[in-house]
Amino acid sequence: MRTMAIISPSSGQSAAQRADAAKGRSSVTAAQSLAKLKALEKKSKKYKLPLGELAIFTQQLASLLTAGLPLVQCLEALQDQTEDQCFRIVIRDVRADISSGNSFSSAVKKFPNSFNTLFVSMIEAGEASGGLAEILGKVASYFEASVKLTKKVKSAMTYPIAVIGLAVALVNVLLIFVIPVFAAMFADFGAKLPAPTQFLIDLSDFMKAWWWAIGLGAYAVFWGVSKYVATPKGRRHKDMFLVRAPIFGNLIHKIALSRFCRTYATLIRSGVPILRTLEIVAAASNTVQIEDACDEIAKHVSQGGQVSEVLAANPFFPPMMKHMVKAGESTGNVDGMMTKISDFYDVECEATVASLTSLIEPILIVFLGVVVGGIVMAMFLPIFQLGAVAGGLQ
């Protein structure tokens, strides 16, 4: 009886050949890891860190510094526990820069997309005063309040956007797929269709024939508006329109006022000079009205004037805010008054969001019912008329 020997694929290779193959595989793995690392390092130079992640990083860093750990060791700990690969590279480079003898503020300045102007200025103030941990705690509280308010506004906007998107998708499905079926059936009637039905059939034919033109036109309008808004004049018109918008304008106005007051109070309380504070507030506001007001306040203050005098002459700021700032100047507690104003407008924003949510829901439901119900009724009108005619003939 003959036996067959089973030879493994590697049995024909020598130990040296197997070692060379393993070495080659490890070289490929090392090259892939190096290429991935270089790609992450290139991306980290322009990496934009979300404000929520920056708030968590700032709070953790403040806690570690308060516990007495050295700054480099704090950054090393945060680098190890950070899951974001790009931000881990950023922290690594900042830590290496500090280890080589540079200041913390100069190290984070090299990553303007990850660390905003407010964060850098507060770090500079903390280094100058020797209270870096305390100031980082204030910055973290400011970032957390901003993120909390933004999340509430986004959650309030999710429902109406979803309903409007559903309405648009449903109307398109009815016009493109459903109405042509009814149109073919109505063509056999040989009678004149009601005006609403004929309008929907004509609209359906137009969309089926020119859907590409509609999409191209919508993209062209979006592109043109985006380009115009990117210009200084277009940005000014956009901000003015948003503040005066019928439903959401009041909310946007209150958010801008709250952000202005909280940023101003946080910087002044941390020891940042007022002119530098106004520059940071203007950059962080992202609102033309606030930027213009900060420029005017800076000129007025540099000439010996007071902040309340500019606010009193600017219609963007409500009378209550003007009087409270004036009272703060008379008592030497402007930052405290600004904080109270910001807290007040945060509560106002929450109340406005809640009222808008309760108001928008029934409006959108009625809107969706009218649109879809109107289309359905228009398509069944000829059937109703045919039934009435048939009933009259009996």
Instruction: Look at residue 63 in the predicted model and tell me its pLDDT.
Output: 92
Binned at pLDDT 50, 70 and 90, residue 325 comes out as very high
80/64 Cα distance (integer angstroms)? 14
Position 215 scores a pLDDT of: 86
Going by pLDDT thresholds of 50, 70 and 90, the confidence category of residue 179 is: confident
pLDDT of residue 9: 47
Model pTM score: 0.76
Integer Rg of the chain from CA: 32
Tell me the domains of the chain and their CATH numbers: 51-115 (1.20.81.30), 142-389 (1.20.81.30)
Q: What is the tens place of the pLDDT at every residue in 216-235?
A: 999 999 999 999 998 989 99
Q: Is the pLDDT of residue 178 over 80?
A: yes
pLDDT value at position 5?
46
Task: Measure the CA–CA gap between 280 and 58, rounded to whole angstroms.
Answer: 18
pLDDT at 34: 67
Residue 10: what pLDDT? 47
pLDDT of the residue at 8 = 47
Mean pLDDT value across residues 33-41? 72
How far, in Å, CA of 66 to CA of 50, rounded?
Answer: 24
At residue 3, the pLDDT reads 47
User: Could you give the angle at which helices 288-302 and 232-244 cross, rounded to 10 degrees?
Assistant: 100
Q: Which residue has the higher pLDDT, 302 or 36?
A: 302
Helices (H), 82-194: 85-99, 104-108, 117-129, 132-173, 179-187
pLDDT band at 351 (very low <50, low <70, confident <90, very high): confident
Distance of CA 354 to the CA centre of its chain: 20
The average confidence (pLDDT) of the chain is 84
Residue of 284, 278, 52, 267 lying closest to 139 (CA atoms): 267
pLDDT tens digits for range 38-90: 777 777 788 888 888 999 999 999 999 999 889 999 999 999 888 888 888 99
pLDDT in tens, 2-32: 444 444 444 455 666 666 656 656 666 666 6
pLDDT classification of 317: cutoffs 50, 70, 90 = very high
Give phi and psi for 244, each to the nearest 5: -95, 5
SS3 track for 250-295: HHHHHHHHHHHHHHHHHHHHCCCCHHHHHHHHHHHHCCHHHHHHHH
Contact predicate 258/342, CB 8 Å = yes
**Residue 250, pLDDT above cutoff 70:** yes
**CA angle (187, 188, 193) in 5-degree steps:** 50
C-alpha distance across the termini of the chain, in Å: 98
User: How many Å apart are CA 48 and CA 271, to the nearest integer?
Assistant: 27
250-259 average pLDDT score: 90
Q: How do residues 362-379 score in pLDDT, each as one tens digit?
A: 888 888 888 888 888 888
pLDDT for 391: 46
Burial string for 181-198 (b: 16+ CB within 10 Å, else e) reads ebbeebeeeeeebeeebb
